[in-house]
Structure 1
Amino acid sequence: MSQSLPPVAELAALDAAGLDAAIAGADRPFVARGLVADWPLVQAAQRSARDARAHLLAHARDRDFAVSMGSPQSGGRLFYDADMQMNFRMGHGRLDKIFAGFDAAENRAEVPTVYLASIDIEQFFDGLSSANPIPLSARDAIASIWIGTPTRIAAHNDFPDNLACCAVGKRRFTLFPPDQFRNLYLGPIDNTPAGRAVSMVDLAAPDLAAYPRFAQALSTALVADLEPGDALYIPSLWYHHVEASAPFNVLVNYWWRDSPRFLGQPQNALNHAILAIRDLPEEQREIWRAMFEHYVFSGGAEAAEHIPDAAQGVLAPFDAQSAGRMHAFLLRSFSQ
């Protein structure tokens, strides 16, 4: 894509308190330059990709890692093929064996795409997080690591807030506000490369004849180029296309949500609404639209105000116990 896009706002020299304040006050992405530049992993990468791999291997647990593998002809784009099936295959192996493949391919002009995506750090590494700490205050974050050859990941969004730290190689993020979902031409939600619906538009060569509204999405887009040690804050539901361009790339990211984890996943509610409501007659859909507004999108205060507090049930604000009862109720209803 030749169009020049405006950059994401940048902050520098953030300490723990500064990062906490920046995240707390942010409703748009920002880049924190050099936030994790002192990580041993980043320092190892400055010496060589092999040193970075050695640092990761020193902490890797003795278990199989999931790995996605694509052909050299894919150009690193992990996506659909012409039949809307995945253009990559999945495998498993010990990290030392996978990294041996990186070593062997280091000087080749054409290599297969190899991608270890969203690997849970605590489950698959011992002491890696403590060796490479992040100042995220009291946020209850899930840490994941992404390792691979050059890759292009189609624009998608995530429900949690996200702090993405470039540790090895280079990353370019192209970001779109949450309200651009119509203009991104999202693919199917039940057949996805990695669990989230992705834009069908190839950002490297947008076909505006096939996807004309993508031009409007581009008018809202921002770009962030990350070097090792830089971090990018991505607020909840912002769409992001991610391109890793070095022969060996490592990203560490942290996900958290401001709402309690005992609350449900909105995507599951959307999926169930598609099943239960979308194909109803129009007049019934309109009634359900009004009921969703009354019970959900308005905040639900009017729906509960005439009922005694002790009898409001799920109309009352949730705590862990009442959310657990609701989860159990839903599981029973889904099995019937």
Structure 2
Amino acid sequence: MSATAANYTPAEVGAPDRFGELVAACEPFVVRGLCADWPVTRAASRSPAALLDYVVALDAGKSAEAFVGAPAISGRYYYEDALDGFNFERETIGVGAALRRVIDTAGVDDAATLYLGSLPTAAYLPGFAEDNAMPLLPATARPRIWLGHASTVACHHDNSDNLACVVAGRRRFTLFAPETIADLYVGPIDHNMAGQPVGLAVGAAPGDPRYPRFAAARTRAITVELELGDALYLPKLWWHQVEALSPVNVLVNYWWDAVGAGPDAPYTAMLLAVAAIAERPERERAAWRAFFDHYVFRPDGHPLAHLPEAQHGLLARGQGGRIRATVMRLLRG
């Protein structure tokens, strides 16, 4: 693992005993060998054929949508130049059939590349979670599987915490902290490859004149390389470009809210704020920014700390349900 930022390197631990402590710090970290003893990882370490046998034995026969790229894109699934389309096709295929095709065409010149991702193993590979247990996470965090040839997935963020486990091949993650968002030149939030907007500048050539602010962000990028059996924890909203480096690659990941205080999603709140505030006059936006800082982000602590706790009302701890009911009543007019 290496970091280009001189003042920050993700923590790296050989055993998971500090997992909860490091998750609470809301910064990335690597756990070497976390899933090395999983049956799926052991199968992949023996041979691609053994990996295929393992997956096919669990395959429920369901089909999913895969990305298929022409040889010319070299596995970099992305937009067309005008951002109005994509440089790959979509094909419906089963998990076992997809992995078989990946293995059969791995390293073959002029072969199309295939990428299949974010499949819940409970539906597609029943029994996988029980066979490859992850006791560090809550039971609600369920595994998803991603497989394909060597590929590059554009820089994006997740709205949940993410534990990514390499069970076949190798991966390289290029990370950018959430505060770099303006320097990444983020693309459309509702027209993208797989649900999340991407940082357009990250995959561009150095010095691209369309993205002048990215030069500073590039020097702050953090590069993490994962070998077979390694895992990376990514806090929510950390940007990451993901490169699958081997001819055959399989990743298993878990999404969950490590510090959630209720059912409400911050991203939903942000979108509502965009609709309500983003097009108001600059001075009014500045005023609302002050209110958001005071009531939501709280750089000076609780906004009613000067009052007895009994008088905190809606701002008291554990009032999410009352706030939600109030918001729904206001939205209904």
Q: Contact (CA 8 Å) 1:36, 1:230: kept in 2 or not?
A: yes
| Counterpart position of 2:212 | 212
Determine the C-alpha separation between the residues in 1 that align with 2:263 and 2:326. Answer: 10
Same amino acid, percent of matched pairs: 35
| Counterpart position of 1:11 | 12
* Structure-2 change in CA distance of 1:321 and 1:209 (3 Å): closer
Determine the C-alpha separation between the residues in 1 that align with 2:187 and 2:51. Answer: 35
The runs of at least 4 aligned residues of structure 1 exceeding 6 Å deviation read none
Determine the C-alpha separation between the residues in 2 that align with 1:261 and 1:93. Answer: 38
TM-score, length of structure 2 as denominator length: 0.85
Range 221-230 or range 206-215, more displaced: 206-215
Superimposed CA distance per residue, residues 182-205 of structure 1 (whole angstroms, 9 cap, x where no aligned partner): 111111212122222211024473
| Counterpart position of 2:97 | 97
| Counterpart position of 1:269 | 269
Which residue of the other structure, out of 275, 292, 304, is the alignment partner of 1:302? 304
* Secondary structure at the counterpart of residue 260 of structure 1: coil
CA shift at 1:321, angstroms? 4.7
* Structure-2 change in CA distance of 1:126 and 1:210 (3 Å): same
1:29-178 pair list within 5 angstroms: 29-84=28-83, 85-106=85-106, 108-138=108-138, 140-178=140-178
| Counterpart position of 1:258 | 258
TM-score, length of structure 1 as denominator length: 0.84
CA shift at 1:305, angstroms? 5.8
Gaps of 5+ in 1: none
* Structure-2 change in CA distance of 1:96 and 1:34 (3 Å): closer
Gaps of 5+ in 2: none
| Counterpart position of 1:191 | 191
Give the root-mean-square deviation of aligned CA atoms: 3.1
Determine the C-alpha separation between the residues in 1 that align with 2:42 and 2:92. Answer: 28
For the pair 1:23 / 2:11, whether they are aligned, the reply is: no
Superimposed CA distance per residue, residues 196-221 of structure 1 (whole angstroms, 9 cap, x where no aligned partner): 22110244733443322222112212
Count of aligned positions: 327
Range 221-230 or range 90-99, more displaced: 90-99
* Secondary structure at the counterpart of residue 114 of structure 1: strand
Determine the C-alpha separation between the residues in 2 that align with 1:286 and 1:58. Answer: 58
* Structure-2 change in CA distance of 1:159 and 1:124 (3 Å): same
Determine the C-alpha separation between the residues in 2 that align with 1:260 and 1:271. Answer: 18
Determine the C-alpha separation between the residues in 2 that align with 1:268 and 1:252. Answer: 26
Determine the C-alpha separation between the residues in 1 that align with 2:294 and 2:18. Answer: 40
